[in-house]
Structure 1
């Protein structure tokens, strides 16, 4: 279990580095182009690993349409996040994106008929308030925050769709198929203005995007193979702290107190959602008995 937590924390430490590279590239390239390069490189790396180790890349025949749908969702989510990174500080972009577990939980209740526990409902309400504080309509909507929340909603839908997948493939096949298929889906949009000039900065950026994304993917899979999802889920919000650190030290970014409160409310809502309502109700019951005595 401890190794699983360590693997996930390491993945969360590396993820903001990918976001930082994407933010740098967004100054000269469109979000579609950055996403295209990221997933094309990650897919190529996965194919190279498969070829060197003699493993086969498999696509379940009965789930091809589902694979296409899930790939479209994750590509939409990542493109929205990259768009947000070019408009607002990293902490705001990543923080808005972390609304995904809430969306996934709500869709689980509505679509997969999962029980609507008190903690899920309370956590969703807290995160919703956090998102409202982050957007602050009365102060004027920041388009970057809107993109971040849209990306989080798409990622949450992707997670909910993954629960209903008809079949599961190994991590390497999933990485290769979704990355290359996703790159193919957005290629017409990314290349609509022509091929980019392959500068050393763009080449190194693409390698960093794809390589670190692949590493994070395998670390996350390894983490979930070694520990339960309920134990690991709170550590996903570690990403917010590292994003704030990267934004501050790498880009000199800072955010206001209201935005910071909104970000932590989103994270707090996610943590409340993960809590077991039976464990929370036990102390309350003990207090009632004590008062009655």
Structure 2
């Protein structure tokens, strides 16, 4: 066979293909994060609508700003070109929505129209309001079916007295979730002292490693790859809000900032496993027959 002196035909392949490759069609599903190739705007899809005879997609960046773009080509996902298409409204999409609604935010099978059970004597205690609100958002449906009440401690400094006053027993179990339960922390010393002073098989104290329960939200929900490190001497929550570019001067700003962070949590999949496992452990403990 005579060798080809001139090599392969340079026009035989897809020689007109763009440097980044050809665009793939991707449905503009809510919360999908994309980049507008022309402006560099990066944001999550919040809605798609028809305006002025054309479809537009609204993208919200990590600072909460929303901007509209024509639906179609011209977007990037992880640096690769995509063409955004309108969300599906076909039978498969509706079936997927129904399947999602049959689950609670914690991933449990939903019990339609189930009345809240009369509260049991057992309790789950968490450190503060933000912890309680996060637990309610993800596990609230499950806890109401089980008749379990979540209460706030407002700190763990007097944990021994809390356990003593509760008077735990076989039908009165107590589960406690503690922030920043890591070796050498103040919280760890308090928990060890409480366990030594009032040992009981009817009390379970567990914790997550985060300085604040805010960190148990996956950073990707805020447009980060990881939570930023806040310098010593700076209020952690104020520092986080400053990093996000949100108001942070007052306690009202902190409260509003938390509401925005909590609003990014849709299901258990938006939380870190270090918190998920501990809350599930507590629910199992206090609902043991």
Q: Which TM-score tier does this pair reach, normalised by the shorter chain? A: under 0.3
- Computing the radius of gyration from Cα coordinates, the structure with the larger value is 2
How high is the TM-score relative to the length of structure 1?
0.22
How high is the TM-score relative to the length of structure 2?
0.22
Q: Relative contact order: is structure 1 or structure 2 higher (C-alpha 8 Å, sep ≥ 6)?
A: 1
